[in-house]
Amino acid sequence: MSAIAPPSTRPAAEPLRPPWDEPPRLTALRAAGAEAARTLPWPSSGQGEDWRRTPQIDRLDLGSFHQPEPDRAGGGDMPAYLAAALREATAVSAAETVLGDDAAGHRGSGHGDAWAPGAVPLGEAWDRLPEAAHRLGAVLPPSSGPIVARNTARFAAATVIAVGRGDPPRTVHLVHGVEPGQVAWPRTLVVMGEGTECTLVEEWLGPPTPGEALCVPVTEVLVGPGAHCRHVLIHRLGPEAILLAGCRAVVDRDAAYDASWVWVGGAWGKVALAVALQGPGASTRLSGCAVGRASQHMDLQTTQAHEAPATFSDCLHRTVVRDRARSVYAGLIRVAPAAQKTNAYVQNRNLLLSPTAKADSNPTLEILANDVRCTHGATAGPVDRDQLFYCQSRGIEPQAARELIVGGFLADVVGRLPLLGLRAAAQGWVAAALGMGVGPEGAGAVRTAADAAPADG
Amino acid sequence: MAGAVTAVATERLEIEGLAVEIDGKRILDGVDLVVPRGEVHALMGPNGSGKSTLAYTVLGHPRYTVTGGDCRWRGESLLGLTPDERARRGLFLSLQYPTAIPGVSVVNFLRAALKAQGKTLTARELLGRLRGEIGALKMDDAFLSRYINDGFSGGEKKRMEIVQLAVLRPALAILDETDSGLDVDALRTVAEGVNRVRGEDMGILIITHYQRILDYVTPDRVHVMAAGRVIASGGRELVDRIEREGYDSLLRAAGIEPTGVEGTPLEPGVEPPPLPGDAGESPGA
Ligand SMILES: Nc1ncnc2c1ncn2[C@@H]1O[C@H](COP(=O)(O)OP(=O)(O)O)[C@@H](O)[C@H]1O
Ligand SMILES: [Mg+2]
């Protein structure tokens, strides 16, 4: 296990030179990305804790994935599966704007040609939204790590979502696709002004036909004072796809950043999600699920960084794994000396549906302040025998009982998804991933008025 | 003649010489008990005498290993059947410590149970029926969308068991200390619930520690269990005797040395903690 990346990983480190003009600042940023990619060692499982349980990284050959020539913006040659995904996304999220972008920089909108005022391609943002666009790389600079560095050098299409002070609440559903044999480097920047609201759904899809593919998205979120961001990450890549995702949010005073995720796709992947609570009164609620089957490998790393006093964070990750699937989770709460009166919680629960399924869990606290309340917890185990008996004692067959219990296990995290249509769709994705019927709140479930309210706690 | 015997046998739960072990430890030591459909029987006995073990074994909980005897319902041995097969044949157990299933609402749990039992109702019928039964147990409609037994108080869990009894209408119900941990008003509400479903169609075995519920639900027969056996059976007078004298004299008559504390019936409101390995959760868990 060498710490030095094999030479074949190098091609991706060259800065992209798109056929369109880019502002000098962006060219410089790409160059910085390429430089960082050259100097920062590529991750390996033998090097520290971060990748220890995801040794697939050692065998990943970046050079074997092809990045297509970037194309000009325009929906004309958008692949059919992406167009279909956009239509579905429009229905699911009732989003104001639905964008598609892929490795080649194709773009389109679920609403015809109209772009919403605040979600625009980077090139356009540079002219129209310079203040926002210039923040690219501020939250995740190239030096953040080798994966971010490569994304910075190579992204073709990037999207800037800017919600200015006084703008109405915005809902944006972004679909990122990837083709067989290709690599996509989606890049997204969200800049929210004081007191604004934004819901961003990011969905990773494809490839539409069998074949390996690599998707390396990087998302930066700046949440201004008193603003509220809801961010949803949906991982529905194909069974041979690899996802290496990085996302970081910086949260100003009295602002809230709430992220939720549904992870059902891919052969293997790692998602690093970090939140920095930098203003007093800032808060974050993170919750989601990973559902794996066959030999899927799902590695999630969350960081709740409390850097200001009176901040709050709560993270809940649930996984259900069957067959030989494996979940790896590391959840870090870091409380800086200045972050007194912090409340921080992290919890990971894993349901193992077969003896060969596996879940590793490592919630960690790093607390440097003394007046804080922090808890962490992790559980892993099979379906509870007494819950199964209780269902059976009411006549419910074991398979149906298991589905009920598993559906219930995921109900609260799915229930925290911000959009009703998304919740219903997520039920379906999760049920399909489990190879089960629909869970308790799925098709045919009885709704009472209270069910319609978002579940909390 | 044989036909007549079969006809009677088809409508009763017959437990014969039932011996049960947990992890190799013998808990039931030859239990004999018959509960015909249409009758209410009470099963009393000191703590640890094996009442819950009997109830779980009749429904087929996998923790319990039957090492001898038989348990038949309508003439058919239950021993080879899974718990859900037993339930679909008409059996029901109200658990001493009902299990919480987070994420599964009361309404969807019961919808799944009714569907499994071949009783498919429309959403409207189901909600109507549930509202009626929940109201009868003096619970709020809000319980319909709460996760079953999750965060319920001890008393709420017991009431919810009776709601399920009323909705599912089994042919034979075992109520394992459904009265324990209830205050006087809740006890009366639960007893009224049992009386409402009681009738020719249902056999009921009320397992209790405390004779009070039997003031409201008059049993046709009373059995006393100790040390994994039924040591006495009789009428209502047996309850009065236990109330007056405790279990000691019955135990001595059966050749069992009383252990003192165990012989005294518990006061209402006192709920013993779950046994180790009993996955029903304790309050606040
Ligand atoms: N899971 C278990 N593991 C070991 N022993 C048990 C378990 N459950 C019950 N027992 C033992 O079986 C005996 C009968 O218990 P139980 O059936 O709960 O009695 P009751 O309901 O009459 O109070 C007791 O001695 C108890 O300690
Ligand atoms: Mg008991």
Residues 6+ apart with CB under 8 A from B215: none
Inform me whether the C-beta atom of residue A382 falls under 8 Å from chain B C-beta atoms. Answer: no
What average pLDDT score do residues B64-71 get? 98
pLDDT above 90 for A13: no
**Residue B272 Cα: closest atom of ligand 1:** 23
Lookup: tokens for B189: 């509400």
CA of B68 relative to ligand 1 center, distance in Å? 18
Closest CB from B63, B168, B279 relative to A394: B168
CA of A330 relative to ligand 2 center, distance in Å? 42
pLDDT above 80 for B101: yes
Distance separating alpha carbons of residues A309 and A335, to the nearest angstrom: 9
State the smallest CA–CA distance between residue B270 and chain A in angstroms.
23
State the smallest CA–CA distance between residue A242 and chain B in angstroms.
31
Buried b (16+ CB within 10 A) or exposed e, A276-311: bbbbbbbbbbbbbbbbbbeebbbbbbbbbbbbbbbb
pLDDT at A437: 60
- To test the pocket of ligand 1, the residue of B53, B174, B230, B231 to mutate (highest count of ligand atoms within 8 Å of its CB) is B53
Confidence of residue B106 (pLDDT cuts 50, 70, 90): very high
DSSP secondary structure letter of residue B139: -
Lookup: tokens for A340: 């007194």
What average pLDDT score do residues B77-103 get? 97
Ligand 1 site, residue B118, Cβ cutoff 6 A:
no
What average pLDDT score do residues A148-159 get? 91
Closest CB from A389, A395, A449 relative to B88: A395
pLDDT above 50 for B86: yes
Contact A386 B84 (CB under 8 A): no
Kindly report the backbone phi and psi dihedral angles of residue B16, in degrees, each rounded to the nearest multiple of 5, phi listed first: -135, 115
pLDDT above 70 for A213: yes
Contact B88 A385 (CB under 8 A): no
Mean pLDDT of chain B: 88
pLDDT at A335: 98
DSSP secondary structure letter of residue A455: P
Beta carbons of B102 and B48 less than 8 angstroms apart: no
Contact A400 B116 (CB under 8 A): yes
Q: What is the β-pairing status of strands A228-237 and A197-206?
A: parallel
User: DSSP for B9-20?
Assistant: HTTEEEEEEEEE
Greatest mean pLDDT range, A75-89, A159-173, B150-164: B150-164
Q: Is A409 helix (H, G, I), strand (E, B) or coil?
A: helix
Tell me, rounded to whole angstroms, the distance of Cα B68 from its chain centroid: 22
State the smallest CA–CA distance between residue A391 and chain B in angstroms.
8
Ligand 1 site, residue B51, Cβ cutoff 6 A:
yes
Contact B101 A412 (CB under 8 A): no
Q: Is A138 helix (H, G, I), strand (E, B) or coil?
A: coil
Distance separating alpha carbons of residues A217 and A317, to the nearest angstrom: 20
CA of B20 relative to ligand 1 center, distance in Å? 11
Contact A395 B99 (CB under 8 A): no
pLDDT at A21: 83
pLDDT above 70 for A211: yes
Please give the residue that has the higher pLDDT: either B197 or A107. B197
**Residue B56 Cα: closest atom of ligand 1:** 17
Name all domains of chain B by residue range, CATH numbers in brackets.
12-101+170-260 (3.40.50.300)
Q: Is B49 helix (H, G, I), strand (E, B) or coil?
A: coil
The burial of B198, by beta-carbon neighbours within 10 Å (0-12 exposed, 13-18 middle, 19 or more buried), is given as: middle
Lookup: tokens for A200: 């961003």
Beta carbons of A62 and A8 less than 8 angstroms apart: yes
pLDDT at A436: 76
- Give which of B105, B149, B175 to mutate to test A binding, by max A Cβ within 10 Å: B105
Ligand 1 site, residue B48, Cβ cutoff 6 A:
yes
A198 closest CA partner among A165, A172, A233, A166: A172
Q: Which residue of B has its CA nearest to A401?
A: B112
Distance separating alpha carbons of residues B217 and B194, to the nearest angstrom: 7
Contact A410 B93 (CB under 8 A): no
Distance separating alpha carbons of residues B68 and B21, to the nearest angstrom: 10
pLDDT above 80 for A6: no
Lookup: tokens for A194: 């004081």
Residues 6+ apart with CB under 8 A from A281: A253, A254, A255, A308, A310, A311
Residue range A363-405, pLDDT digits in tens: 999 999 999 999 999 999 999 999 999 999 999 999 999 999 9
Four-residue CA torsion sign, A27, A30, A34, A40: positive
DSSP secondary structure letter of residue A128: H
Interface of B to A at Cβ within 8 Å reads 59-63, 82-84, 86-88, 92-93, 95, 98-105, 107-113, 116-117, 123, 126-127, 141-142, 144-145, 147, 164, 168, 278-280
Kindly report the backbone phi and psi dihedral angles of residue A73, in degrees, each rounded to the nearest multiple of 5, phi listed first: -55, 145
Residue range B107-137, pLDDT digits in tens: 999 999 999 999 888 889 999 999 999 999 9
Inform me whether the C-beta atom of residue A441 falls under 8 Å from chain B C-beta atoms. Answer: yes
Mean pLDDT of chain A: 88
Q: Is A134 helix (H, G, I), strand (E, B) or coil?
A: coil
pLDDT at A457: 30
Residue nearest to atom 26 of ligand 1 (CA): B48
Q: Which residue of B has its CA nearest to A397?
A: B84
Confidence of residue B265 (pLDDT cuts 50, 70, 90): very low
pLDDT at A240: 96
CA of B177 relative to ligand 2 center, distance in Å? 7
What average pLDDT score do residues B60-67 get? 97
Residue range B215-231, pLDDT digits in tens: 999 999 999 999 999 99
pLDDT above 50 for A75: no
Contact A395 B87 (CB under 8 A): yes
Q: Which residue of B has its CA nearest to A439?
A: B104
pLDDT at A392: 98
Distance separating alpha carbons of residues A103 and A101, to the nearest angstrom: 7
Q: Give the A:B interface size as CB pairs under 8 Å.
A: 120
The Cα-based distances of B125 to A1, A366, A438, A450, B129 in angstroms read 64, 54, 22, 18, 6
Contact B103 A409 (CB under 8 A): yes
pLDDT at A93: 81
B23 closest CA partner among B273, B281, B275: B275
Distance separating alpha carbons of residues A408 and A289, to the nearest angstrom: 12
Radius of gyration for chain A, computed over Cα atoms and rounded to the nearest angstrom: 21
The residue extents of the domains of chain A are: 65-383, 384-457
Radius of gyration for chain B, computed over Cα atoms and rounded to the nearest angstrom: 18
Q: Can you name the residues that pair with A237 across neighbouring β-strands? A: A206
Distance separating alpha carbons of residues B82 and B91, to the nearest angstrom: 12
> CB atoms < 10 A from the CB of A435, how many?
11
pLDDT above 80 for B205: yes
Distance separating alpha carbons of residues A189 and A125, to the nearest angstrom: 11
Residue range A180-205, pLDDT digits in tens: 999 999 999 999 999 999 999 999 99
Which H or E element spans position A258? Answer: strand A256-263
Q: Which residue of B has its CA nearest to A447?
A: B145
State what percent of residues in chain B have pLDDT above 70: 88
Distance separating alpha carbons of residues A67 and A12, to the nearest angstrom: 9
User: DSSP for A293-305?
Assistant: -TT-EEEEEEEEE
User: DSSP for B186-230?
Assistant: HHHHHHHHHHHH-BTTBEEEEE-SSTTHHHHS--SEEEEEETTEE
Ligand 1 site, residue B94, Cβ cutoff 6 A:
no
Contact B102 A448 (CB under 8 A): no
Residue range A21-52, pLDDT digits in tens: 888 999 999 999 999 999 998 999 998 899 99
Residues 6+ apart with CB under 8 A from B4: none
Residues 6+ apart with CB under 8 A from B271: B154, B180, B181, B283
Q: Where are the alpha helices (DSSP H) in A94-138?
A: 122-128, 130-133
Buried b (16+ CB within 10 A) or exposed e, A212-241: bbbbbbbbbbbbbbbbbbbbbbbbbbbeeb
Contact B127 A405 (CB under 8 A): no
Distance separating alpha carbons of residues A297 and A39, to the nearest angstrom: 28
- State in Å, rounded, how far the first CA of chain A is from the last one: 44
State the smallest CA–CA distance between residue A408 and chain B in angstroms.
4
pLDDT at B123: 87
Ligand 1 site, residue B62, Cβ cutoff 6 A:
no
Q: Is A68 helix (H, G, I), strand (E, B) or coil?
A: coil
CA of B62 relative to ligand 1 center, distance in Å? 14
CA angle in degrees (0–180, nearest 5) for B18-B19-B23: 145
Query: What residues of chain B lie within 8 A of the CB of A450, using their CB?
Result: 142, 144-145
The Cα-based distances of A231 to A244, A259, A287, A422, B214 in angstroms read 18, 5, 11, 12, 58
The Cα-based distances of B37 to A174, B12, B40 in angstroms read 62, 5, 8
Confidence of residue A257 (pLDDT cuts 50, 70, 90): very high
CA of B49 relative to ligand 2 center, distance in Å? 8
Closest CB from B87, B142, B278 relative to A394: B87
Q: What share of chain A is helix, strand, coil (3-state, %, to 5)?
A: 25, 35, 40
Lookup: tokens for A427: 């039920």
pTM of the model: 0.87
DSSP secondary structure letter of residue B257: -
CA of B275 relative to ligand 1 center, distance in Å? 7
pLDDT at B270: 46
pLDDT at B3: 42
Confidence of residue A444 (pLDDT cuts 50, 70, 90): very low
CA angle in degrees (0–180, nearest 5) for A107-A108-A111: 160
B152 closest CA partner among B181, B126, B130: B181
pLDDT at B39: 97
pLDDT at A18: 83
Max CA distance (Å), chain B:
57
Complex prediction ipTM: 0.90
Residue range A322-348, pLDDT digits in tens: 999 999 999 999 999 999 999 999 999
pLDDT above 90 for A318: yes
Q: Where are the beta strands (DSSP E) in A297-353?
A: 297-306, 312-321, 326-335, 342-352
Beta carbons of A343 and A312 less than 8 angstroms apart: yes
pLDDT at A332: 98
Contact B61 A389 (CB under 8 A): yes
